[in-house]
Amino acid sequence: MLAAVLSIGLLGALVGAYLPGVIERVPAGQPVLTGGPAAALPPPADRRSLPVIIATGAVFALIAGRLGWSAELPAYLYLGAVGVALAAIDLIHHRLPNALTLPSYVISAILLAVAALVRAAPGPLLRALAGLAVLYAFYYLLMLIYPAGMGFGDVKLAGIIGLYLGWLGWTEVVVGGFLGFVIGAFAGLGLMAVCRANRKTTLPFGPAMLLGTLVAIVAGEWIADWYLGGITG
């Protein structure tokens, strides 16, 4: 397991070296990927790209620690990479671009379908599709009820999140969905405490959703057991 965590973490750092370009190009309407010989090598790291590289490496390592060398690992690593890019773009531009969210439905479904074939077990894939539908519908309803606080980009991201959490189980769907709101609320309160925001400030919700998803992937069952144990105890 340690070898998986270290090697996948290093892979994440390498992938993270490419993401600053994606974070810069996509909001400007440019292609996600660039061609040419120079595209074969990551750009040199600088102060702006270093946090992205570190974050991607850490996310990859955490996912590897949870899943190990499993059939679904490639799918979750894709989520880790695109999630870091989406979180950064949402923080900077308050947008979750279709150029990243919409293709992620197809890519994620294909990767998880391959994992289901390797495992010869369709159950997790069917549950993943159900998780996609549940979270998408829930966020869509929230958008209809309170459009000022929930954008359609958040709804589209919720479907992707539901797909991955549903593969793991309904516990992860509930924990991940709940944690997104908890993290978002605490982030808002923290910014208000340091006078960086007020009650009327619109804050990007995508990073909170993605962080809640990562926590649910890594420790969703443990959190649910701890919470239920506290209630019953």
Which helix or strand (DSSP H or E) is residue 73 part of?
Answer: helix 73-93
- The confidence score (pLDDT) of residue 180 equals 96
Contact 68, 4 (CB under 8 A): yes
- pLDDT averaged over consecutive 10-residue blocks of the chain (233 residues)? 90 94 90 63 70 97 96 98 97 95 98 97 96 98 88 96 98 96 90 73 90 97 85 58
pLDDT of residue 29: 87
Which CA distances in Å does 217 have to 79, 136, 172? 11, 18, 7
d(C-alpha 163, C-alpha 31), whole Å: 25
The pair phi, psi for residue 85, each rounded to 5°, is -65, -45
Can you give the pLDDT at residue 231? 65
* Residue among 67, 52, 50, 51 nearest 8 (CA): 67
pLDDT of residue 33: 74
C-alpha count within 13 angstroms, C-beta hemisphere, residue 137 = 6
For residue 42, what pLDDT is reported?
Answer: 62
Distance, in Å, from the CA atom of 31 to the CA atom of 53, rounded to the nearest integer, reads 21
Q: What is the pLDDT at residue 43?
A: 64
**Where does residue 189 rank: exposed (0-12), middle (13-18), buried (19+ CB within 10 A)?**
exposed
The C-alpha atoms of residue 75 and residue 115 are separated, in whole angstroms, by 8
Sequence-ordered list of residues with C-beta below 8 angstroms from that of 5, at least 6 positions apart, any chain? 61, 64, 65
